[in-house]
A and B are shown apart, each in its own frame.
Chain A
């Protein structure tokens, strides 16, 4: 080790909240970009399901009352939700890994605030969600899907899918903070997929024949998020569907982020 005098130029002061968020977000984004697996697999899996469902279940179009669109147009919205679930797992696992490795303790020894840490950590999730949305939309259009609401609607699809991803990422972070292990976050993942399955992901709610399934889908907030996205793709500008889609997505974000914030306070035990 070389000898060199080390002196701090001036006494450090507590950094501004935005500087803290920016620093943590930069790290989160850098981590995400450098781990291609985090980008590629969450991206591919929903696209594979889109391709399979789009062709295998296309006969659903023959059900009386089914919207007069291709089945690919109908299920493209689900792709965004599945992508959001992967974002949730990625965000939660990243945070859990920091807790397990002790990196969280390192951050706790700095003046970093808990809310800045949480907001910054979600920065990576936001980037994945943004990239995913562009790609899902592009693949959909290339494969023949027509966005009924046009270019502006496509931008709203991206916006809504980001809000949804943020809500699920908050859930991932909550699980990480509550349980402190990546296994806990990943263990919850199948339940989220069940929630997507028990929604209007495959059929419009009014065409679901099994009554309990229809009931569950009606009470399942995921149905309304899917329908909000779907309305922009197959219907055009449907104010009610959009209000419900954004409403549930914002409520999900508010609830999960509030709970994650409380869990962060609990986890970030420092005097």
Chain B
């Protein structure tokens, strides 16, 4: 995805809160046009603070960033004109209908009166909300709210889309539908997508490149494949039918490398030469006449990457107050409290 000018370009971007930690601590990143960039990290890592700065809702303490070719500090209105954003927690008015939301957004985005209804209808069709369009949003499911949120972000046809944890709290079906739509926006329509998430599988499935952020710093960046390849080889986990055959199983697997027992009878061993060694494992176990209840090949995950880079598992790695209390335009009093 090489390009002369990145859609998003960040240099040493920092945000420090009064009496608080450096929520974002000198990050650098570049996102190419049409790329989906996954910003992965636990709660409190600095993801949302970064999004608030890049969407012009929170001034940075230092550093610089250009979004859509415009400086986020000095050309805020131009940045806003080129982006759409669905921030964390679909911010919708429960009293208004989906269509009314879209009309309001279209009006405020300066879309000509004659085009507003058509635009609203197009987007409602796109996100599959035509039947619910005239119902009050208060009665929408979480997935419907997220879809409407996405539609609202697209009203003015932005070139760059910011999605802050768009699938948090959604069921698998709704999550899949949203992934599909985001993928289509980037790959079919060339939209640049900056997506924050704390779900490994989301970053893995959706992002062309991933930046892993922890304590306000980017600790790893690359394609999911590159990142996983960086930390090493896959492993195989074998569970014998007869738990008493554990020692014999361990003896056979030791020839591949250092084994790890899970205390429930399963033994895991790294495959330093990669997946190709799986066949050899099967052959060895067969020759030793060991009956196996299950045999699972584990590819390295982004969680493994996170573990290697930070020394912690991503799940449960959240620290301190929720970063979203940082606020943005609507959260000044909360920021003061930090």
Q: Which A residues are in CB contact (< 8 Å) with B177?
A: 1
Chain A residue nearest to B151 (CB atoms) is: A6
Q: Is the CB of B95 within 8 A of A30?
A: yes
Q: Do residues A271 and B76 form an inter-chain contact, with CB atoms below 8 A?
A: yes
Q: Is the pair B330, A3 in contact by a Cβ cutoff of 8 Å?
A: no
Interface size on A, residues (CB 8 A): 47
A residues near B (Cβ < 8 Å) are: 1-4, 6-10, 12-15, 19-20, 23, 26-27, 30-31, 34-35, 98-112, 178-181, 266-271
The reply to whether B157 and A6 contact each other, CB–CB distance below 8 Å, is yes
Q: State whether A180 and B57 are in contact (beta carbons under 8 Å apart), knowing that A12-B110, A111-B77, A270-B76 are contacts in the complex.
A: no
Give 18 A-B pairs besides A105-B57, A105-B330, A110-B108 with Cβ atoms closer than 8 angstroms: A2-B128, A3-B126, A3-B184, A7-B157, A10-B112, A14-B110, A15-B108, A27-B104, A101-B93, A102-B330, A103-B92, A103-B93, A105-B87, A109-B55, A109-B56, A109-B57, A109-B80, A111-B108
Count residues of B near A (Cβ-Cβ below 8 Å). 58
Q: A2-B128, A271-B74 are in contact. Are A9 and B55 (CB under 8 A)?
A: no
Q: Which of B57, B80, B111, B126 contacts A269 (CB 8 A)?
A: B57
Complex-state Cα separation, A107 to B329, whole angstroms = 9
B109 on interface, CB distance cutoff 8 Å: yes
**Knowing A180-B334, A269-B329, A271-B74 touch, does A6 contact B110 (C-beta < 8 A)?**
no
List chain A residues, Cβ under 8 A from B136: 34
Contact A107 B108 (CB under 8 A): yes
**Chain B, 115-139, CB within 8 A of any chain A CB:** 115, 118-119, 122-123, 125-128, 136
Among candidates A19, A101, A178, A271, residue contacting B56 with C-beta atoms closer than 8 Å: A271
Nearest CB of chain A from residue B20's CB, rounded to whole Å: 16
Residue of A nearest to B118 (CB): A9
Q: Is the CB of A104 within 8 A of B330?
A: yes
1/0 per residue, CB under 8 A from A, across B58-102: the answer is 110000000000001110110111010101110111011000100
B-side contacts of A34, CB under 8 Å: 95, 136
Please state if A1 and B180 are interface contacts (CB–CB under 8 Å): yes
Which residues does chain B contribute within 8 Å of A178, judged by CB atoms? 333
Which B residues are CB-close (under 8 A) to A271?
56, 59, 72-74, 76, 79
The CB with the most chain B CB atoms within 10 A, among A101, A106, A178, A179, is that of: A106
